[in-house]
Structure 1
Amino acid sequence: MAQYFTLLLNCPVVIAAICVAGIGGTFQYGFSVSVMTSPSAFIKELVNKTCQQRYSVSLDEWQLSLIWSFTVSVFCIGGLVGSLVGASLVTKFGRKQCLLFNNFLAIIGALLMILSQTAMSFEMIMVGRLLYGINAGVGLTVQSMYLVECAPKRLRGMVGVTIATFISFGKFSGQLLGISELLGTQERWPWLLGFNGFTSLLQLSTLPFLPESPRFLLLDRGDRRACEEALRTLWGNKDHSVEVEEMLEEKAALQSVRNHSVMELIRSQALRWQILTILVTFTTLQLCGINAVYFYSFEVFRAAGIQEDQLSYTALGTGLCELFTSFACFMIIENTGKKALLFRGYMGMSAILILLTVTLYLQSKVSWMSYCSMGLIFIFIFFFSSGPAGATSPLPGELFTQSFKSAAFIIGCTLNWCGLFVVGMLFPVLVEKLDYFCFLLFLFFCGGCGLYVRFNIPEIENKTALEIAAEFQKMHCKSEESQREKGTELKLNSGKTYETKF
């Protein structure tokens, strides 16, 4: 671990790229996911007041809940649009330019949020949430591509984990700023919702000093000189001819090959296992039960005797646990490998979901069982943050060559946003119908993904996309050949005739 950390410290510009890209990228995603909890009562009050003033109508509870649900969920719609748009723009304009222009969406959204209470318009919050979603969708896609391509091959896994680290940092910041002592008050909540604009301004003022992705400059623009200059800026004034030659080998292998569409990627027989890996891991990331665990944490904390006005401070503990664990994953991933982190993470989460279901069932019968449930919640967050959260996001940039990357990110991010939307819409129904037994449904996804990773994915750490493709082919061609041999043997055996004596 020390050697990788030392190698990262020797690349200060890479560290700057991680921080600058993260604060205006996946930080926005994490912050927007968690920030709506604290001011929910104030926003609902604004909705009711607006309808009374405009239409002299007092909304029923179900009408208020419907408007509130749409205000929260419109972020996912924007995220899906941003993912679809960002993955295509990134090839045309470059990673850095997309990140720069993406900040203007968040700044406009922040202005709408800040002015919404003064203008007595909850619609401004909806539009702001939509713009935040588009910003987060573009940022999640482009930041992943930019960082993975700027990092040395030996540090690619460590740098990729920072994508999830900044999501955790954003979630924790939303929880922290939302407490009543800071911005979670009747007067200051619009500034809480508008905080994304300040982080966008920070990225907008610092990102121009960083170089463009070296791989984009060489493979998409064909500018070797600019690529070498970017490598020297990022990795130091050393000889980087080996890395350039590896990129040129990939370029030669893909000569006269254009960037492929999503449908072309899906139809590609040679990449079917890589595509299946993206489908399984990104779907499970949202359907693993992390949102259910966060939801039930308040019920568990109440049962443990924590007062209602102290719940927001206790929730900070869950956010802090996710942040620290994500940082620990950043420290160990190069020695452990993505495959091991994914497998251990999902199998650990599967075991915790079983235990959590049991303890919640016994909570009303045994007084101290709520403390066991509380401990299991933190352990579940630990397994999630130390594996799936950090190892999943960069996968499309590592499993696919340059011509397929944009399409792979479109698929991955579309699954991510659709999963988040589905969970947001269906989870309340699941809780109402199944109560805590809904964890058994999430258990199916965690266990299935863990077993898939164990038996169908090779180790991808410190390998190029071409080397990973060879590993996939080597792993699955053997199993397919073995099946064909067994089928041939079975056919031969079934064709034999045996003489029977009476």
Structure 2
Amino acid sequence: MFASDSSSSHLSTYSAEECPPVLERLILIDGANFMHSVKTVYPSDSTFDQRPNALPLAFFVHNLLSHGHNVRVCILQHMLHRNIIQNFYAIEVLSATGLLIQSKLNGKEADDVCLLTIAREYGAVIISNDKYTNHRNFLDVPANRFFGFRPVSIPFDADTVAMDYSHLLRVQAEVEIYASYEQFLSVVRVPIGAPIYPALLTSQSRFPIPKDFRLLSLLYQWYTDSTYLMVFLELPPTSQFVGEINDFPTSFIDYWKMWCKKRKKVFLAALSVSVGGAIHFGFQLVIIDPSQDSFIDFVKDSIESHYGSKFERSVLEDIWSVIVSMFFVGAIVGALTLQLISEKFGRRMGLVFAYFINSFSAFLSTFSYFINSFEVYTVSRITLGFGLCLSVGIGALYLSEISPKKVRGIVGMSTGISVQLGLVLGALFAMPNLLGSKTLWWTMYLVEGIIFIFALFAIKLFPDSPGYLLKSGETDLAKYSLTFFQGTSDEELKVKIEELKTEVEGSTQKGMIEVLRIKEKRERVLISVIVMFGTAFSGVAAINAFAVDILESSGLSSSTSSYINVGLSFVSLLAACFSSAVVDKVGRRPLLLWSNTGILVCNVLIGGLLLAHDHNSSSLLSVSLIICMAFFLIFFALGPGPLGYFIPSELSGQNSRSATQGWTSLTQMTSRAILLAAFLPLKLAVGSGLCYIILFIAPITAATTYLYFNLPETKNRDQKEIAEAFNELPRFWRAKKMLKSTLYA
């Protein structure tokens, strides 16, 4: 199609090392064509993200510049938007370095015309997989000035960076040119005196080689140092990358400081929400186990002093079990009123109300010790369960609605991490030799009450969620909230407000009963309920409440069991922290399904070990049980532990989110209440092993199977994209058909 270029034939008799003095041709890269071709090449946001990928393009340009070539990237101006291109900050870096040519012409192929015009007038080389068959006006551009490329699978490590450049023109972004180094060089480097020499001189003055491309080098360094891989986090797509060069992150610490600074207000809000609710929920779940004897003695003394009656130990244990279960009675009431309170008063004021109830309950528990009244303590358990259920449920709603998509995962995981932290603190401080003694248990509630007061004042410093404010008709406050939490520009603010308006105005507010009448809403509620059902019946409720008792059943002493319980809780916390680092890379669906599968395997092993121990105890069985429980808690903290709190918020739209969260909280609290009531009686009836197998293997198996066929990926997706993701799920009827065809093959 294209003519030949005689100016390059002068190099045919020279090797790369023997070239005479030369001028560099300008190398033009078809930006749109290149980014489309490498959209799934590492590093990409996700295999589901099919937008053009700018980061491999930046790496490719850096590779050419570092070897002395003069490069420009040509892109249509209307493409230059972060919603169109993934890793858009790489485009900002290219633009700041002066390497971007924006085609302002009209038409889909305007960038092609721009490329071919520059190639003809300035003797430039074009790198593109486009054949340009629609551009007959440019047949005079020589054919040997066009180079194709392809993504290739090469390791992403230090050896790749040091690859011999004379072999093939490759870059870290897994791209190679359809030419050897010599062939490419013979076209790009033209001897002085060649016929095209005047055009190249003009090209050098019109498109000079950039003297400073440190921003591009620093971006390249960031990834090649594997810091990105180490922390599993994405550089924020903001104009910060084209500011002062000293502000560009070149280490993990620099990056973390900048990343946190941009999202400081969101993280402070998450901290306030966690300190006021989730930490205390985990704390209350576990303190009843190591300090159980102290609480039973308190109940005994209270009954004797008030009623003059004495009961046997077994009766006192039954009374204590009822008092413990009152926490979940209050929590169930909280779940039923969660939607009403969060919609009537808003997310922020709903949290203020919940924290007030929590502080009142904690001080009431403290007061019950000094008046020696187990009745007052029982009332405080009910109100504390009510307040903490509201705190956790509304807190998850609030964090989901104030977080940008890119960090919605890690911010949402803060609830689960805080619950795990509460478990560690509860297991530690409730030990009888610390604050779990008969005379000191009240101090735990006193400290909690003070913390609740601080959280109450802290949450009032933040605005309500933008979605709720917009739904309430407070458009200006919604804009302020978006700007406050997400630091959006004026252009981004308009887009996000319109997205929220579309979501809010699309339907009316749905109550807990109404969401069950609409098929689409009902399906999402059911998925959310199954996620939480699988979480509750995974076995964690029994391990949280009866870990010490289970360990004692395996032959360990009470003190040893308490210390091991603290260690297991700490392992769980570390796993939850790791999960928060990978959730926005791995995705919600695979993380939850793989974790549930691991939990199922651990449950089978724990049940088998307890069953074996019921017949023949040994130290080997005890050690094996501890190891299995540790792995169970790791899998739980990686997946269902934190994910169960915010997947429901991501699945549901603005008008049904609070109702869905209400059903999820109701499922969690009801399931835990049933398990706490059933575990000890069933254990006494059939033994620890059979009890564990009956309660925790079938439910997690059923939940995991259901979620495999019904749970879509919600990472970085809005409601429209989540609706489309349902079509990507494997279908049960399809799996059944494949199985049938296999059996009869």
Normalization by structure 2: what TM-score? 0.61
1:79 aligns with 2:310: no
Kindly provide the CA deviation profile for residues 159-180 of structure 1, in whole angstroms up to 9, marking residues without a partner as x: 1111111111112111222234
Distance 1:352 1:240, change over 3 A: farther
The structure whose residues are more often helix, as a share, is 1
Paired residue secondary structure (2:460) = helix
1:124 aligns with 2:355: no
- Among candidates 203, 228, 249, match of residue 479 of structure 2: 228
Kindly provide the CA deviation profile for residues 311-340 of structure 1, in whole angstroms up to 9, marking residues without a partner as x: 322211111111111111111100111101
Q: What is the CA–CA distance in structure 2 between the aligned matches of 1:67 and 1:299, rounded to whole Å?
A: 18
Paired residue secondary structure (2:463) = coil
Contact preservation (8 Å) 1:105, 1:131: yes
Contact preservation (8 Å) 2:652, 2:719: yes
In structure 2, give the amino acid aligned to 1:139: S
1:346 aligns with 2:600: no
- Among candidates 494, 508, 515, match of residue 258 of structure 1: 508
Equivalence map 1:314-393=2 (5 Å)? 314-363=564-613, 364=616, 367-393=619-645
Q: What is the CA–CA distance in structure 2 between the aligned matches of 1:433 and 1:389, rounded to whole Å?
A: 29
Residue in 2 that maps onto 1:398: 650
Residue in 2 that maps onto 1:494: none
Distance 1:253 1:118, change over 3 A: closer
Q: 1:437: Cα distance to partner?
A: 2.1
Q: What is the CA–CA distance in structure 2 between the aligned matches of 1:183 and 1:244, rounded to whole Å?
A: 53
Paired residue secondary structure (2:513) = helix
Bigger shift: residues 434-443 or 138-147: 434-443
Q: 1:7: Cα distance to partner?
A: 4.1
Distance 1:233 1:432, change over 3 A: same
Q: What is the CA–CA distance in structure 2 between the aligned matches of 1:8 and 1:150, rounded to whole Å?
A: 16
Residue in 1 that maps onto 2:424: 172
In structure 2, give the amino acid aligned to 1:264: E
The structure whose residues are more often strand, as a share, is 2
Paired residue secondary structure (1:403) = coil
Q: What is the CA–CA distance in structure 1 between the aligned matches of 2:295 and 2:382, rounded to whole Å?
A: 16
1:420 aligns with 2:651: no
Q: What is the CA–CA distance in structure 1 between the aligned matches of 2:315 and 2:612, rounded to whole Å?
A: 36
Residue in 2 that maps onto 1:2: 233
Q: 1:367: Cα distance to partner?
A: 4.5
In structure 2, stretches of 5+ residues that fail to align are: 1-231, 236-255, 739-745
1:449 aligns with 2:703: yes
Bigger shift: residues 246-255 or 38-47: 246-255
Q: What is the CA–CA distance in structure 2 between the aligned matches of 1:373 and 1:392, rounded to whole Å?
A: 26
- Among candidates 264, 285, 289, match of residue 12 of structure 1: 264
Residue in 2 that maps onto 1:438: 691
Contact preservation (8 Å) 2:288, 2:545: no
Q: 1:377: Cα distance to partner?
A: 0.7
Distance 1:254 1:215, change over 3 A: closer
In structure 1, give the amino acid aligned to 2:692: F
Residue in 1 that maps onto 2:712: 458
Residue in 1 that maps onto 2:520: 270
Q: What is the CA–CA distance in structure 1 between the aligned matches of 2:498 and 2:679, rounded to whole Å?
A: 48
Kindly provide the CA deviation profile for residues 289-323 of structure 1, in whole angstroms up to 9, marking residues without a partner as x: 11334567436645777543333222111111111
Contact preservation (8 Å) 2:286, 2:545: no
- Among candidates 310, 313, 336, match of residue 61 of structure 1: 313
Q: What is the CA–CA distance in structure 2 between the aligned matches of 1:482 and 1:351, rounded to whole Å?
A: 26
Paired residue secondary structure (2:609) = helix
Kindly provide the CA deviation profile for residues 372-424 of structure 1, in whole angstroms up to 9, marking residues without a partner as x: 22111100100011001111111221111111112111111111110011001
Contact preservation (8 Å) 1:109, 1:194: no
- Among candidates 307, 318, 322, match of residue 70 of structure 1: 322
Larger CA Rg, structure 1 vs 2? 2
Distance 1:253 1:108, change over 3 A: closer
Identity of aligned residues (%): 22
Contact preservation (8 Å) 1:302, 1:308: yes
Residue in 2 that maps onto 1:497: none
Q: What is the CA–CA distance in structure 2 between the aligned matches of 1:248 and 1:269, rounded to whole Å?
A: 26
Normalization by structure 1: what TM-score? 0.89
Q: What is the CA–CA distance in structure 2 between the aligned matches of 1:18 and 1:166, rounded to whole Å?
A: 10
Contact preservation (8 Å) 1:113, 1:124: yes
Paired residue secondary structure (1:229) = helix
Paired residue secondary structure (2:311) = coil
Q: 1:241: Cα distance to partner?
A: 3.9
Paired residue secondary structure (1:342) = helix
In structure 2, give the amino acid aligned to 1:437: L
Contact preservation (8 Å) 2:463, 2:481: yes
Distance 1:406 1:302, change over 3 A: closer
Residue in 2 that maps onto 1:500: none
Contact preservation (8 Å) 1:83, 1:137: yes
Q: 1:23: Cα distance to partner?
A: 0.4
Q: What is the CA–CA distance in structure 1 between the aligned matches of 2:355 and 2:466, rounded to whole Å?
A: 22
Q: 1:69: Cα distance to partner?
A: 1.2
Q: What is the CA–CA distance in structure 2 between the aligned matches of 1:358 and 1:481, rounded to whole Å?
A: 34
Q: 1:8: Cα distance to partner?
A: 4.7
1:469 aligns with 2:718: no
Distance 1:273 1:247, change over 3 A: farther
Aligned residue pairs, count: 481
Paired residue secondary structure (2:412) = helix
Distance 1:113 1:270, change over 3 A: closer
Q: 1:345: Cα distance to partner?
A: 0.8
Q: 1:428: Cα distance to partner?
A: 1.3
1:291 aligns with 2:541: yes
Distance 1:178 1:297, change over 3 A: closer
Contact preservation (8 Å) 1:250, 1:466: no
Q: 1:75: Cα distance to partner?
A: 0.5
Paired residue secondary structure (1:209) = coil
Kindly provide the CA deviation profile for residues 122-141 of structure 1, in whole angstroms up to 9, marking residues without a partner as x: 11111111111111111111
In structure 1, stretches of 5+ residues that fail to align are: 487-502
Contact preservation (8 Å) 1:300, 1:373: no
Contact preservation (8 Å) 1:158, 1:331: yes
In structure 2, give the amino acid aligned to 1:94: G
Equivalence map 1:26-45=2 (5 Å)? 26-45=278-297
